[in-house]
Amino acid sequence: DQQVKQNSPSLSVQEGRISILNCDYTNSMFDYFLWYKKYPAEGPTFLISISSIKDKNEDGRFTVFLNKSAKHLSLHIVPSQPGDSAVYFCAAVQGGSEKLVFGKGTKLTVNP
Amino acid sequence: KAGVTQTPRYLIKTRGQQVTLSCSPISGHRSVSWYQQTPGQGLQFLFEYFSETQRNKGNFPGRFSGRQFSNSRSEMNVSTLELGDSALYLCASSSGTGEETQYFGPGTRLLVL
């Protein structure tokens, strides 16, 4: 039973364009969501997070949108850069717990 | 501030052996969580320690255990290793007060032969 789903295993975009990574969740008790970026054989690097009381959070080129009614969040990267090429993981956490539940990841490739 | 550190970075063991992995959290962080990453299952939560007590546990067999010391450093132990235990083991730390970011270490790559 996968509570956090990233349905696109891969995404390819041109440099300078927008990258949109999507994530769906099933557990309505999740109240905090995070995006991590990961390179092979390295630990995930935190990118941006959002609390369930908000519907948008922005940090530089990264914006996360949360649609609670649809149980859906997305990460927008504008403009995309070749250095953004990595695997992006969506994670969710419930009620003060430290237990992160991860999606399977989306491999983003930004072409020069 | 120094980040989360994990030792060793790479490890090769044989079936039936046991292994201990170490994690030093970011200074001031009291919560340490462990995750296993495999190609098939993705990133899965093992357990979390806070103030030397296990506070959360994932769905892993009892062969996987951990502990936390008074300085918040944590160790994870896997006994009677199986081939399927080959994975990247990641440690993450946070202040432990909830709804906040966990910061990950570089991981320990374990290969069981």
pLDDT interval class at B96 (50, 70, 90): confident
Q: How many CB pairs under 8 A join A and B?
A: 67
- The answer to whether the CB atoms of A43 and B106 lie below 8 A apart is yes
- The answer to whether the CB atoms of A34 and B99 lie below 8 A apart is no
Option in B6, B96, B102 nearest A100 (CB): B102
Option in A34, A45, A98 nearest B48 (CB): A98
Would the pLDDT of B98 be above 80?
Answer: no
Which residues of A sit within 8 Å Cβ distance of B?
A: 31-32, 34, 36, 41-46, 49, 51, 89, 91, 93, 95-105
CB-based contacts of A38, cutoff 8 Å, min separation 6: A44, A45, A86, A87, A88, A89, A105
Nearest C-alpha neighbor of A105 from the set A75, A63, A69: A75
Would the pLDDT of A65 be above 80?
Answer: yes
Query: What integer pLDDT is reported at residue B41 of this predicted model?
Result: 87
> pLDDT by residue (tens digit) across B82-92?
999 999 999 99
pLDDT interval class at A47 (50, 70, 90): very high
> pLDDT by residue (tens digit) across B29-47?
999 999 999 988 889 999 9
> pLDDT by residue (tens digit) across B57-84?
999 999 999 999 999 999 999 999 999 9
Write out chain A residues lying below 8 Å of B104, CB-based: 36, 43-46
pLDDT interval class at A14 (50, 70, 90): very high
**How much is the average pLDDT of B18-26?**
98
- In DSSP terms, which residues pair with A30 in a beta bridge? A94
pLDDT interval class at A42 (50, 70, 90): confident
Query: What integer pLDDT is reported at residue B102 of this predicted model?
Result: 92
Q: Which of A3-12, A71-80, B51-60, B91-100 has the lowest mean pLDDT?
A: B91-100
* High-pLDDT (> 70) share of chain B, %: 97
Residues A42-50: contacts with CB under 8 Å, at least 24 apart: A42/B106, A42/B107, A43/B4, A43/B6, A43/B90, A43/B92, A43/B104, A43/B105, A43/B106, A43/B107, A44/A89, A44/B43, A44/B90, A44/B104, A45/B104, A46/B101, A46/B102, A46/B103, A46/B104, A47/A75, A47/A88, A48/A75, A49/B101
Query: What integer pLDDT is reported at residue A96 of this predicted model?
Result: 74
Query: What integer pLDDT is reported at residue B85 of this predicted model?
Result: 97
